[in-house]
Amino acid sequence: MANRITLQIGRYHPEHDPEPWFESYEVPSRKEWVVLDALNYVKDHVDGSLTFRWSCRMGVCGSCGMMINGVPKLSCATFLSDCAPGPVRVEPLKNFAILRDLVVDTSDFLVKLAKARPWIIRKVEKPLDEEYFQTPEQVDAYKQFSMCINCMLCYAACPVYGLDPLFMGPAAIALAQRYNMDSRDEGAGERMDILSQHDGIWGCTFVGECTKACPKKVDPAGAIQQYKLTASIEWVKALVLPRGAT
């Protein structure tokens, strides 16, 4: 007799639903199955209209973020056996507008990510046949922040992001810091102008839930606190040497 588990999945049809509601599905709970497998089972065998995002199914693409029993998780990385005996409550990612079922509108995050200028900024580009060299220590300085897969679990975990529409959010700031700490980058000043706006990073009150939610151990909370310290030092420097160094 195969194991079965009940999923309570958030449904929302914008065409005719005034608000989201839950539908219960009983699915087989095979050994090593993750929540994503259960969702695909529902879509393949029970209700083809169930809508959700997924891609790599191995925790590197960042597509399948959703709330599983109230905690932001990747559905491809959450084992059904860990949720047993169930029921498992599956909802769309918190703090984002819901487009349909488990799919959310990520455009706010993408706008904020672009604001962080997440690319190497140089005053003068090196010619193509010249390499950049980095020592292991220089790589170590930003490596942790480069592991971000843009899954937005940190945005779902962050209460400030839910309350303050102007807050940049954990991943965007962590990625800004990833480039600020990169020895090849010369754009720290430009990013500081955007991020050290009232509310840009200063809305953060170090709740720390973003770091707990992150599946790639990026530690965005740490990145933000480091950035606050850097911004404060820059502020003092600007005060003391008004026409001094950037």
Partner 1 sequence: MDSSAKLIMGRRSNEPFLWLLFSAGGVVAAMLLPIHLFLFGFAFPLGWLKGPSYESLLALLRHPVTRFYLLVFCCLPLFHWAHRFRFTLYDGLQIKHLNELINIFCYGGAIVGTAVAVYLLWNIP
Partner 2 sequence: MINPTEYVPKCYYPRVSTYWWVARWAYLKFILREVSSVFVAWIVVVTLLQIQALTRGPAEYEESQKWLASPLIVALNVISFLFLIFHTVTWFNLAPKAMVVRLRGKRLPAAAVAAPNYAVWVLLSAAVAWIVLRS
Binding test (CB under 8 A) with partner 1, winner from 34, 93, 192, 210: 192
- 140 belongs to the binding site for partner 2 (CB under 8 A): yes
Using H for helix, E for strand and C for coil, what is the string for 162-224?
A: HHCCCCCCHHHHHHHHHHHCCCCCCCHHHHHHHHCCCCCCCCCCCCCHHHHHCCCCCCHHHHH
- 104 belongs to the binding site for partner 1 (CB under 8 A): no
Q: Is residue 42 classed as helix, strand or coil in its secondary structure?
A: helix
Measure the CA–CA gap between 36 and 77, rounded to whole angstroms.
8
| CB neighbourhood size of 159 (10 A) | 13
- 159 belongs to the binding site for partner 1 (CB under 8 A): yes
Task: Answer whether 142's CB lies under 8 Å from 178's CB.
Answer: yes
Q: Is residue 114 classed as helix, strand or coil in its secondary structure?
A: helix
Stretch that binds partner 2, among 35-43, 55-63, 122-130, 208-216 (CB under 8 A): 208-216
Q: What's the DSSP call for residue 145?
A: G
- 37 belongs to the binding site for partner 2 (CB under 8 A): no
15/32 with CB nearer partner 2 = 15
Residues numbered 216-245 forming contacts with partner 1, rule: CB under 8 A: 228, 231-232, 234-236, 238
- 163 belongs to the binding site for partner 2 (CB under 8 A): yes
100/112 with CB nearer partner 1 = 112
Measure the CA–CA gap between 218 and 213, rounded to whole angstroms.
10
- 221 belongs to the binding site for partner 2 (CB under 8 A): yes
**Residue 84 contacts which entry, partner 1, partner 2, none (Cβ below 5-8 A, type-dependent):** none
Per CB under 8 A, residues contacting partner 2 are 12, 14-15, 17, 19-20, 70, 94-95, 97-99, 105, 107, 136-137, 140, 159, 162-163, 205-209, 212, 219, 221-222, 225-226, 228-229
